[in-house]
């Protein structure tokens, strides 16, 4: 969390995260190279590099895609999410090295511009093996580049979180393109069962985790009923909310996080202004709602970040009667105080 | 829900989360290591081939221009049943072949050249420096057995590939991942070869030519790296097998080649 832009807001845990990430990348590349050279000493270096970096980029993309749903299923995985953007940028650079080797090896040195060659050399022949697969990889890399280039909070702030989030959801399009790239490419050449099984297992894992997380989320999206005459909705029992934590409910199509802390109840929008993280899965720390994704903080009474930060989330009016929490379904203007209600009356 | 809470900007994580992170990292490293070993070990298309990149040698032999330029080099001391010469395909640097038309004036003559050796099994090729190819001052006697021997009309299933990459410049240099490169190489004049994998014995490499012994580079491009069936006249020139057929009669197969 920072009130001004820096290339990287380093802290101890980010350093540890990146150190482990780089170590993992180096370990994979070295082991892949050593095993390949041992069993296939006549492999040419450019293809060895191409394969090592390509397989690692694809594996890393699987991990990146799995972190989100894993965090929804078990908050302990949030430690993997905290610096996920560095993992994404790493994934892009691994893919870029793979692509540079492909263009330099397979497309340069002929009579056609090497980049144009990606699109015009292979033609559809009507057979599975004849599907040009390299354009899929090219477009996937373009998406990964866009995401890596706009990964900094500068772009998040200037593009606005909804646009930034939409742009970064294109990672699923990139993944789909890469599945096609691999299916019509290396799986047609390396016809070994393991390659196909690995690919299918990866795809199924990504889909299954997203389905499981979505199923779990669906519970939060059940629209509340029981609108009273004063316009407030019966949201939950006070006892349903753990101390310093929240219960998430759906009101007028929006998720609302109802926090209990210091004998008070406050309700705020569930959407963090940083990366739209789920505030309702956060915790009150130092008197502030703390987003589980990157630790952005908001005062529960006002929805405002403590100075010098300027982020704000919408607040909701709350009442407590007979041990039940009632929330007015229309948000107040950003930053305006919503009264915190004492739970003991 | 009320368990430890991770905040990345805090100096230290909760001990319970720290233990979880250590387990996570160990698991991820193990998975990554496992994939690195398995994916590397299970590669299937890397053969034994060599490109002596950076090592330039001098060669002398008899130039044969058609269907693709190749060099006949007599073997010293060869006699009896052994073939008395070696055949080297000739190609230019990068994704270019030597033009049979421009080599026609040297056809049948002894030439000297410099180039880099490429080989896979008994198949040999020279990436020649085009400017170094000169008619030699000394003339070699054509070795015995240089004339083509007909092996009759035969049918083969296999994969069309560019001989330069497959014989050693790239390894692996075949199949779908390599297709674009193979198309560029073949369209640039590299001799197309049909790779026929036999259930028993070594694979066969058949140089593809038209029925009238002309290059077929431009006609085969849409069939490169796919399983095809070709029926044509087979000729042997020393160790070189030439498959002559009209490319319009090549048949794309639905299944993958064995």
Whether A204 is in a domain gets the answer yes
Is A55 found in the same domain as A87? yes
Is A326 found in the same domain as A302? yes
Query: Which domains, ranges and CATH numbers included, belong to chain B?
Result: 50-135 (2.40.50), 149-252 (2.40.50)
Is A244 found in the same domain as A215? no
Is A247 found in the same domain as A213? no
Most confident of the following: A40-44, A153-157, B41-45: A40-44
Q: Give the per-residue pLDDT at B256.
A: 47
- With CB atoms and an 8 Å threshold, state whether A13 touches B9: yes
- Point out the residue among B46, B179, B256 whose CB comes nearest to the CB of A122: B179
Distance, in Å, from the CA atom of A51 to the CA atom of A45, rounded to the nearest integer, reads: 10
Instruction: State mean pLDDT over B218-232.
Output: 95
CA distance A288 to chain B (A): 13
> B30 contacts in A (CB within 8 Å)?
none
Instruction: Quickly state the pLDDT bin for A345 (edges 50, 70, 90).
Output: very low
> B176 contacts in A (CB within 8 Å)?
129, 133, 184-186, 188-189
Is A327 found in the same domain as A252? yes
> B17 contacts in A (CB within 8 Å)?
76, 79
Q: Give the per-residue pLDDT at B78.
A: 62
> B188 contacts in A (CB within 8 Å)?
110-111
- With CB atoms and an 8 Å threshold, state whether A186 touches B177: yes
Give residue A303's region: left, alpha or beta (phi > 0; psi -120 to 50).
Answer: left
Task: Give the tens place of pLDDT for each residue, A259-284.
Answer: 999 889 999 999 998 888 999 999 99
Share of chain A above pLDDT 90, in %: 65
Write the secondary structure of chain A as one string of H (helix), E (strand) and C (coil): CCCCCCCCCCCHHHHHHHHHHHHHHHHHHHHHHHHHHHHCCCCCHHHHHHHHHHHHHHHHHHHHHHHHHHHHHCHHHHHHHCCHHHHHHHHHHHHHHHHHHHHHHHHCCCCCCHHHHHHHCCCCCCCHHHCCCHHHHHHHHHHHHHHHHCCCHHHHHHHCHHHHHHHHCCHHHHHHHHHHHHHHCHHHHCCCHHHHHHHHHHHHHHHHHHHHHHHHHHHHHCECCCECCCCCEEEEEHHHCCCCCEEEEEECCEEEEEEEECCEEEEEECECCCCCCEHHHCEEECCEEECCCCCCEECCCCCECCCCCCCECCEECEEEECCEEEECCCCCCCCCCCCCEECCC
Is A241 found in the same domain as A199? no
- Point out the residue among A79, A198, A290 whose CB comes nearest to the CB of B21: A79
| CA closest to A247 among chain B residues | B1
Q: Does B40 touch chain A (CB under 8 A)?
A: yes
CA distance A324 to chain B (A): 20
| Number of domains chain A contains | 2
Q: Does B184 touch chain A (CB under 8 A)?
A: yes
- With CB atoms and an 8 Å threshold, state whether A117 touches B180: yes
- With CB atoms and an 8 Å threshold, state whether B36 touches A190: no
Whether A294 is in a domain gets the answer yes
- With CB atoms and an 8 Å threshold, state whether B252 touches A127: yes
- With CB atoms and an 8 Å threshold, state whether A111 touches B187: yes
Task: Give the tens place of pLDDT for each residue, A113-136.
Answer: 999 999 999 888 877 778 899 999
Range B249-252 contact pairs with CB under 8 angstroms and sequence separation of 24 or more:
B250/B220, B250/B223, B252/A125, B252/A126, B252/A127, B252/B223, B252/B226, B252/B227, B252/B228
Average pLDDT over chain A reads: 90
pLDDT at A255 over 50: yes
Distance, in Å, from the CA atom of A75 to the CA atom of A81, rounded to the nearest integer, reads: 10
Q: Which of A191, A219, A247 is the last residue of a domain?
A: A219
Exposed / middle / buried, residue B12 (Cβ in 10 Å: 0-12, 13-18, 19+): exposed
Whether A53 is in a domain gets the answer yes
Is A181 found in the same domain as A78? yes
| CA closest to A104 among chain B residues | B181
Is A255 found in the same domain as A204? no
Tell me, what CATH number does A292's domain have? 2.102.10.10
Whether A1 is in a domain gets the answer no
Whether A225 is in a domain gets the answer no
Whether A65 is in a domain gets the answer yes
| CA closest to A103 among chain B residues | B181
pLDDT at B258 over 90: no
Q: Which residues pair with B237 in a beta bridge?
A: B240
Instruction: Quickly state the pLDDT bin for B95 (edges 50, 70, 90).
Output: very high
Share of chain A above pLDDT 70, in %: 92
Task: Give the tens place of pLDDT for each residue, A67-118.
Answer: 999 998 988 898 899 889 999 999 999 999 999 999 999 999 999 999 999 9
- With CB atoms and an 8 Å threshold, state whether B46 touches A190: no
Is A132 found in the same domain as A245? no
Q: Which of A175, A196, A219 is the last residue of a domain?
A: A219
Instruction: State mean pLDDT over B149-164.
Output: 96
Q: Which of A219, A248, A278 is the last residue of a domain?
A: A219
Is A43 found in the same domain as A168? yes
Contact between A265 and A239 (Cβ < 8 Å): no
**Best to test chain B binding among A34, A45, A47, A116 (most B CBs inside 10 Å):** A47
Q: Does the structure's ipTM exceed the value 0.90?
A: yes
Is A260 found in the same domain as A128? no
Whether A6 is in a domain gets the answer no
Task: Give the tens place of pLDDT for each residue, A2-31.
Answer: 556 677 778 898 999 999 999 999 999 999
Q: Is the four-CA dihedral B161, B167, B169, B173 of positive or negative sign?
A: positive
Query: Could you tell me the two tokens for B144?
Result: 């015995």
Average pLDDT over chain B reads: 92
Q: Give the per-residue pLDDT at B3.
A: 75
Is A276 found in the same domain as A141? no
| Pairs of residues, one from chain A and one from chain B, whose beta carbons lie less than 8 Å apart | 197
- With CB atoms and an 8 Å threshold, state whether A190 touches B44: yes
- With CB atoms and an 8 Å threshold, state whether B3 touches A294: no
Instruction: Quickly state the pLDDT bin for B101 (edges 50, 70, 90).
Output: confident
Q: What does chain A come to in residues?
A: 345
Q: Look up the domain containing A72 and give its range.
A: 12-219
Cα A241 → chain centroid = 27
Contact between B97 and B118 (Cβ < 8 Å): no
Q: Which of A165-174, A200-209, A212-221, B117-126 is predicted least confidently? A: A212-221
Instruction: State mean pLDDT over A290-316.
Output: 91
Whether A5 is in a domain gets the answer no
Instruction: Quickly state the pLDDT bin for B96 (edges 50, 70, 90).
Output: very high
């Amino acid at each position: 969390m920072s009130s001004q832009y820096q290339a990287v807001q380093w802290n101890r845990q980010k350093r540890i995260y990146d150190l482990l990430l780089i170590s993992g990348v180096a370990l994979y590349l070295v082991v892949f190279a050593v095993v390949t050279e041992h069993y296939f000493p006549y492999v040419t270096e450019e293809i060895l590099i191409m394969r090592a970096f390509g397989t690692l980029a694809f594996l890393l993309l699987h991990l990146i895609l799995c972190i989100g749903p894993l965090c929804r299923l078990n908050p302990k995985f949030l430690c993997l999410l905290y610096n996920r953007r560095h993992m994404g940028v790493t994934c892009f650079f691994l893919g870029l090295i793979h692509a540079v080797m492909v263009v330099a090896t397979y497309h340069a040195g002929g009579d056609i511009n090497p980049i144009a060659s990606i699109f015009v050399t292979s033609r559809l022949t009507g057979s599975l093996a004849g599907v040009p697969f390299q354009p899929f990889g090219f477009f996937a890399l373009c998406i990964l580049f866009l995401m890596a280039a706009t990964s900094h909070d500068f772009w998040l702030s200037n593009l606005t979180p909804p646009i930034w989030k939409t742009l970064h959801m294109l990672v699923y399009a990139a993944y789909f393109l890469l599945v096609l790239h691999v299916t019509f490419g290396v799986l047609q050449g390396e016809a070994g069962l393991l390659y196909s099984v690995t690919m299918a297992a990866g795809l199924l894992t990504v889909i299954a985790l997203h389905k499981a997380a979505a199923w779990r989320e669906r519970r939060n999206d059940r629209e509340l009923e029981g609108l009273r005459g004063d316009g407030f909705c019966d949201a939950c029992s006070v006892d349903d909310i753990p101390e310093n934590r929240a219960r998430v409910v759906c009101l007028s199509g929006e998720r609302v996080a109802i926090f209990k802390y210091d004998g008070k109840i406050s309700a705020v929008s569930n959407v963090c202004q940083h990366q739209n993280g789920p505030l309702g899965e956060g915790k009150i720390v130092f008197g502030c709602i703390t987003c589980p994704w990157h630790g952005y903080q908001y005062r529960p009474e006002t929805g405002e970040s403590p100075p010098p930060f300027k982020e704000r989330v919408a607040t909701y009016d709350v009442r407590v009667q007979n041990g039940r929490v009632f929330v007015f379904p229309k948000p107040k203007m950003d930053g305006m105080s919503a009264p915190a209600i004492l739970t003991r009356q | 829900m009320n368990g430890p809470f991770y905040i990345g900007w805090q100096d230290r994580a909760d001990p319970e989360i720290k233990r979880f992170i250590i387990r996570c990292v160990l698991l991820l490293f193990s998975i990554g290591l496992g994939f690195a070993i398995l994916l590397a070990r299970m590669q299937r298309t890397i053969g034994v081939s060599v490109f002596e990149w950076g090592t330039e040698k001098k060669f002398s032999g008899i130039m044969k221009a058609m269907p693709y330029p190749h060099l006949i080099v007599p073997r010293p001391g060869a006699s009896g049943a052994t073939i008395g010469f070696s055949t080297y395909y000739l190609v230019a640097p990068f994704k270019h072949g030597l033009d049979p038309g421009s080599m026609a004036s040297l056809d049948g003559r002894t030439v000297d050249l410099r180039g880099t050796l490429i080989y896979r099994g008994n198949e040999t090729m020279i990436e020649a420096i085009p400017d170094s190819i000169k008619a030699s001052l000394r003339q070699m006697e054509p070795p015995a057995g240089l004339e083509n021997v007909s092996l009759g009309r035969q049918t083969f299933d296999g994969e069309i590939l560019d001989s330069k990459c497959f014989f050693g410049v790239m390894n692996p240099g075949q199949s779908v991942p390599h297709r674009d490169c193979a198309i560029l190489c073949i369209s640039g004049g590299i001799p197309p070869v049909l790779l026929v994998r036999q259930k028993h014995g070594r694979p066969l490499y058949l140089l593809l030519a038209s029925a009238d012994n002309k290059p077929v580079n431009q006609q085969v491009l849409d069939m490169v790296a796919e399983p095809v069936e070709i029926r044509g006249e087979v000729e042997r020139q020393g160790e070189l097998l030439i498959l002559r057929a009209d490319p319009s009669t090549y048949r794309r197969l639905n299944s993958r080649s064995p």
